[in-house]
C-alpha cells in the first residue's frame, strides 16, 4: 500500500479489497448451502449478520452528520473513513432480498392462521403486514441513499473546489438528515428486530439499537485507522490525539448504552406485564442466562474499566483490543436479540442457544462484500478531505 503525500491518494491499494471480496463470495456460497441444511437457522443467522453490517454503516452516517452539525475540527482528518463506510448503506439493500424470502421463517405475524386467532396480532395487522413492511424497508434505504449520496457528493466536490459553500451545504443537509436518521433507524429496529417477538414492545428499543450501532462504528473506524497506521499510511497525520478522542467517544457511549439498556429493563421489570417480561424471561433460561450476563459485563463494565483512564484512551494497543471486543460484543448483543425467537431457542428450550457454523459464514459473506465496497470507495478518492479549511488544524489537533 502506497500513499501519495501530496495528493493524499492511495496509488497502490494492495490486496485488501480483493481478499475481502474472495472471503465474501466464499462465505455467501457456504451460507447458501446452509439454507438447504437448515433454512430456519440460515435466516436467523443471516438476519444477525445483515443487521450487524448495516448498523456499522448507520453509525458512520450519524457520526458524519454530527461532525458537520457541530463543525468539528479534530475529526476532519478521519472524515473520509466515515464517509466510505456510510456510502455502503444503499448497496447493502441487495442483502435484504434473502430476508424477503425468509419472512415466514423469521416473523410470526406473517402467518395468517396465527394472526387470525390472536387478538393482539389482529390489532397490529394494519402495521405488521408484508406489504407495508416492504414499503417501509424501501423507504429506509431510499432515505439512507439520499442522505449518504448528498453528503458524499459534496464532500468529494469540496476536494476539487475552494467553494466554502460545500461545507455549509453539508451542514444544511445534516440538520434535517439527523431527524430522518432518528426515525429510520428506530423504525428499522422495530421492523427487523422487535417484530420478531410481535407481542413485545419497547419504546426505547430504537435508541438501544442506535447506541450499539454507534459503538460498533467507532470501533470499526478505530481499527481501520490502526490498520492504515500499521501500513505506514497517515501515521503522522492521524495521531494519538485523534485516537484519544475516539476513545473518549467510545467510553461515553458505553455509559449511555448501559443507561438505555438498564432503563428498558427497569421499566419492564417494574411494570411486570406478561407481554413485556416474556421477552427477558426467554433470555434468562439455560445458556441464554450466561449470554445475558456476558452482555452486562462485556458491553458495559469491562470496556468501562478499560477506558476509564486518560492513559488507556491514548494506548493504541489497548484501543485495538477494545475495538475488536466492541465489535464482538455488538454481534453478541444482536445475536441475543434475534436468536431466542427461533423455534426451540426460546423460553420453551431450557438448553438455551447453540452456535451454528452459519453464524460465521453469513458474517464473513456479508462482511467481506461490505469491506470490499468500503475499500473500493476509500481508495477511489483522497483519503482525507484535502480542501477542507480545517484539515491542517485537524492534523495538528491536541487534546486540552
CA 267, 217, 390, 181 torsion-angle sign: negative
Query: Considering the chain, what is the average pLDDT of its residues?
Result: 93
Give percent above pLDDT 90 in the chain: 85
| 13 or 351, which is more confident | 13
What SS3 class is residue 86? helix
Average pLDDT over residues 293-302: 97
pLDDT exceeds 90 at position 1: no
Q: What is the pLDDT of residue 345?
A: 56
pLDDT exceeds 70 at position 43: yes
Q: What is the pLDDT of residue 354?
A: 86
3-state secondary structure the chain: CEEECCCCEEEECCCHHHHHHHHHHHHHHHHHHHHHHCHHHHHHHHHHHHHHHHHHHHHHHHHHHHHHHCCCCHHHHHHHHHHHHHCCCHHHHHHHHHHHHCHHHHCHHHCHHHHHCCHHHHHHCCCCCHHHHHHHHHHHHHHHHHHHHHHHHHHHHHHCCCCCHHHHHHHHHHHHHHHHHHHHHHHHHHHHCHHHCCCCCCCCHHHHHHHHHHHHHHHHHHHHHHHHHHCCCCCCCCCHHHHHHHHHHHHHHHHHHHHHHHHHHHHHHHHCCHHHHHHHHCCCCCHHHHHHHHHHHHHHHHHHHHHCCHHHHCCHHHHHHHHHHHHHHHHHHHHHHHHHHCCCCCCCCCCCCCCCHHHHHHHHHHHHHHHHHHHHHHCCCCCCCCCCCCHHHHHCCCCC
pLDDT exceeds 70 at position 190: yes
First to last CA, the chain: 34
Q: What is the pLDDT of residue 380?
A: 93
For 131-172, strand residue ranges (E) read: none
- Note whether 160 and 123 are within 8 A (CB): no
| 354 or 176, which is more confident | 176
What does the pLDDT look like over 195-232, one tens digit per residue?
999 999 899 999 999 999 999 999 999 999 999 999 99
Q: What is the pLDDT of residue 220?
A: 98
pLDDT exceeds 80 at position 344: no
Q: What is the pLDDT of residue 351?
A: 59
At residue 81's C-alpha, the angle toward residues 78 and 86, to 5°, is 130
Domain edges within the chain? 27-395
Average pLDDT over residues 343-369: 80
Give dist(CA 117, CA 103) in Å, integer: 19
Q: What is the pLDDT of residue 346?
A: 47
Average pLDDT over residues 39-64: 97
**Which cell goes with 163?**
467553494
pLDDT exceeds 90 at position 273: no
Entry pTM: 0.96
Amino acid at each position: 500500500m502506497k500513499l501519495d503525500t501530496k495528493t493524499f491518494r492511495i496509488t497502490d491499494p494492495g490486496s485488501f479489497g480483493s481478499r475481502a471480496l474472495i472471503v465474501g463470495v466464499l462465505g455467501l456460497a457456504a451460507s447458501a448451502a446452509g439454507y438447504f441444511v437448515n433454512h430456519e437457522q440460515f435466516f436467523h443467522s443471516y438476519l444477525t449478520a445483515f443487521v450487524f453490517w448495516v448498523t456499522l454503516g448507520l453509525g458512520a452516517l450519524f457520526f458524519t452528520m454530527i461532525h458537520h452539525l457541530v463543525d468539528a475540527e479534530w475529526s476532519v482528518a478521519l472524515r473520509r473513513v466515515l464517509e466510505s463506510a456510510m456510502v455502503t448503506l444503499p448497496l447493502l439493500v441487495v442483502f435484504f432480498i434473502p430476508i424477503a424470502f425468509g419472512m415466514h421463517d423469521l416473523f410470526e405475524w406473517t402467518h395468517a392462521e396465527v394472526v387470525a386467532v390472536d387478538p393482539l396480532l389482529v390489532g397490529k395487522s394494519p402495521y405488521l403486514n408484508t406489504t407495508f413492511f416492504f414499503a417501509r424497508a424501501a423507504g429506509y434505504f431510499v432515505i439512507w441513499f439520499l442522505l449518504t449520496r448528498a453528503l458524499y457528493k459534496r464532500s468529494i466536490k469540496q476536494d476539487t473546489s475552494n467553494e466554502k459553500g460545500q461545507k455549509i451545504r453539508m451542514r444544511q443537509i445534516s440538520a434535517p438528515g439527523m431527524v430522518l436518521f432518528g426515525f429510520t433507524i428506530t423504525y428499522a429496529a422495530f421492523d427487523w428486530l422487535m417484530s420478531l417477538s410481535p407481542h413485545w414492545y419497547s419504546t426505547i428499543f430504537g435508541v438501544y439499537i442506535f447506541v450499539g450501532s454507534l459503538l460498533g462504528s467507532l470501533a470499526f473506524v478505530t481499527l481501520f485507522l490502526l490498520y492504515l497506521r500499521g501500513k505506514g499510511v497517515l501515521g503522522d497525520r492521524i495521531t494519538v490525539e485523534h485516537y484519544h478522542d475516539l476513545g473518549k467517544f467510545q467510553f461515553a457511549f458505553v455509559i449511555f448504552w448501559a443507561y438505555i439498556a438498564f432503563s428498558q429493563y427497569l421499566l419492564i421489570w417494574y411494570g411486570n406485564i406478561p407481554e413485556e417480561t416474556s421477552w427477558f424471561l426467554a433470555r434468562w433460561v439455560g445458556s441464554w442466562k450466561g449470554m445475558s450476563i456476558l452482555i452486562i459485563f462485556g458491553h458495559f463494565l469491562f470496556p468501562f474499566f478499560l477506558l476509564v483512564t486518560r492513559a488507556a484512551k491514548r494506548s493504541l494497543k489497548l484501543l485495538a483490543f477494545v475495538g475488536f471486543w466492541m465489535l464482538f460484543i455488538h454481534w453478541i448483543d444482536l445475536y441475543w436479540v434475534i436468536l431466542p425467537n427461533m423455534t426451540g431457542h426460546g423460553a420453551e428450550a431450557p438448553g438455551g442457544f447453540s452456535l451454528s457454523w452459519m453464524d460465521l459464514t453469513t458474517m464473513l459473506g456479508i462482511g467481506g462484500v461490505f469491506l470490499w465496497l468500503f475499500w473500493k470507495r476509500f481508495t477511489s478518492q483522497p483519503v482525507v478531505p484535502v480542501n477542507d479549511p480545517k484539515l491542517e488544524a485537524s492534523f495538528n489537533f491536541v487534546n486540552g
